[in-house]
Amino acid sequence: MSEPEPQAHVTLDAVARRAGVSLATASRALNGTTRVREDLRTRVRAAADQLGYIPNAHAQALASASSNTVGLICHDVGDPYFSAIAAGVMRAAAEKDLLVMLASTFREPAREIAYVSTLRAQRARAILLIGSGFQDRAWERALAAELEPYARAGGRVAVVSRHRSLRVDAVLPENRGGAAALARALLDLGHREFAVLTGPPSLTTVSDRLAGFRDELARAGVALPPERVVRGPFTREGGYAAARTLLARGNRPTCVFAVTDVMAVGALAAFREEGVRVPEDISLAGFDDIPLVRELSPPLTTVALPLTAMGQEVMALALREPRGPRSRMVRVGGEVVLRASTAPPPSLRRGSPPMGEGARRNRPSPVHAVHADLHLGAPGV
């Protein structure tokens, strides 16, 4: 019988579906752990053989030479948020003569797990996960099944953003606190009618930013009605479509918060097409402070994060020697930067707008990091 012909872009998810098992079971069966029944292990290996998923000779040859390779997996390197963090990772890696292999998952959980599996096969020195975790138990179990044996074998793992199930070193931007600070600054401008353009609720970054903003409004006695929370893809196009939907619903708010700057850029284009002036008719704010938003007309109010420094920090975590059964956490605070896209609502526009405590106008955010140690098993943030 001839050898099966390997198929292009075969993922672990495809193997699991062919074998009729979960992603976690497929991963355990292929990585050699003993927690899988023999009949399931046989089915998974047969499916992998049929699909050509098993590591080929070329990958095995690379394995012995890949100790200076770092795998960087992000949601979408075309997004300026991720490209800025990746730049920091690459700068830090270059100082150590390390090669960075970059992959975009496009927010597909199965693709992320498949990339991790590939990096394990090539024995990368470290694996960095850049971007929000998914609030999906099946994904969490499958990812842990890949990373735990990799870490036990000496591989290093570090992440940016909240991955509640992973007991690894992490750089955690203060998404919830930053969104709350932004809400306070916008309330101080006099706004009481808000809307939020948000992304997929399965992403922890989305849920944290929305929760922080909503909770701060509630503390001020301001409601955020469900019809004013509009979901869309975490992209410029998603922000554009969400803004169009918001306008079509009528009962226009005086201020809109887009949970990422990229969505805010799309919203600004939608408002402009509809003849809605920013900030004369609607104030608009984002989150991240990607370089582009300073050049918009008007420049965007946002929560500034030190993105490149975050990339350097996660690389540093991955290169530090482990300290037993403890994971390290670096918290990175953001700073509200008020720019010309926000102003007091039309009914209050008299003279100079008030400035909220803790907000700064047109000033960059400093790196504000607090280091803390967590025992394994401590609740995620």
Range 287-298 average pLDDT: 95
What does residue 338 show for φ and ψ, rounded to 5 degrees? -85, 125
> Does residue 67 register a pLDDT over 80?
no
Phi/psi for 84 (5° steps) reads -70, -40
Among 104-118, 274-288, 325-339, name the most confident range: 274-288
CA distance 200 to 265: 18
Q: State phi, psi for 319 to the nearest 5 degrees.
A: -95, -15
b/e map 30-63, b = 16+ CB within 10 Å: bbeeeebeeebbebbbebbeebebebeeeeeeee
Q: Which residues lie closer than 8 Å to 326 by C-beta, 6 or more apart?
A: 373, 374, 375, 376
Of 27-36, 99-108, 128-137, minimum mean pLDDT range: 27-36
Rounded Cα distance between 234 and 166, Å, is 23
What pLDDT score does 9 carry?
54
Answer whether 135's CB lies under 8 Å from 202's CB. Answer: yes
What is residue 376's predicted lDDT score, i.e. its pLDDT? 24
**Mean predicted lDDT score pLDDT of the chain:** 83
Which one has a higher pLDDT value, 26 or 209?
Answer: 209
Can you tell me the distance from the alpha carbon of 240 to that of 228, in angstroms, rounded to the nearest whole number?
15
- Give the whole-angstrom CA distance, residue 143 versus residue 250: 43
Which pLDDT tens digit goes with each residue over 225-240? 999 999 999 899 999 9
User: What are 116-148's pLDDT values in tens digits?
Assistant: 988 888 888 999 999 877 777 787 888 888 888
Tokens of 17: 């579906």
pLDDT band of residue 287 (cuts 50, 70, 90) is very high
Q: What is the pLDDT of residue 179?
A: 98
| Helical residues (DSSP H) of the chain, grouped into ranges | 12-19, 23-31, 38-51, 57-63, 80-95, 109-121, 137-152, 175-188, 204-219, 236-248, 261-273, 307-319
| The amino acid at 354 | P
Mean pLDDT, to the nearest integer, of 205-209? 93
pLDDT over 90 (residue 321) = no
Q: In whole angstroms, give the CA distance from residue 174 to residue 36.
A: 39
Model pTM score:
0.75
Say if CB 130 and CB 159 are below 8 A apart: yes
Domains and CATH numbers, the chain: 1-54 (1.10.260.40), 175-307+333-363 (3.40.50.2300)
Question: What is the model's pLDDT at position 322?
Answer: 66
Confidence of residue 372 (pLDDT cuts 50, 70, 90): very low
pLDDT score of 64:
44
Q: Which residues are registered as beta bridge partners of 203? A: 134
Gap between the Cα atoms of 130 and 72, Å rounded: 7
Q: What number of other Cβ atoms are within 10 A of residue 300's Cβ?
A: 29
Give the per-residue pLDDT at 202: 84
Residue type, 58: H
Residue 254 above 70 pLDDT? yes
Over residues 82-100, mean pLDDT: 94
| Full strand arrangement of the beta sheet holding 302-304 | 302-304, 335-338, 360-361
Residues 6 or more apart whose Cβ sits within 8 Å of residue 57: none
The residue with greater pLDDT, 12 or 103, is: 103
Report the distance separating Cα 156 and Cα 69, nearest Å.
11
When mean pLDDT is compared across 86-100, 181-195, 325-339, the lowest value belongs to 325-339
Q: Tell me the longest C-alpha to C-alpha distance in the chain.
A: 83
pLDDT at position 378, please?
27
Segment among 130-139, 266-275, 287-296, 369-378 with least mean pLDDT: 369-378
For residue 170, the number of C-alpha atoms closer than 13 Å in the C-beta half-sphere is 25
Distance between CA atoms of 131 and 81, rounded to whole angstroms?
9
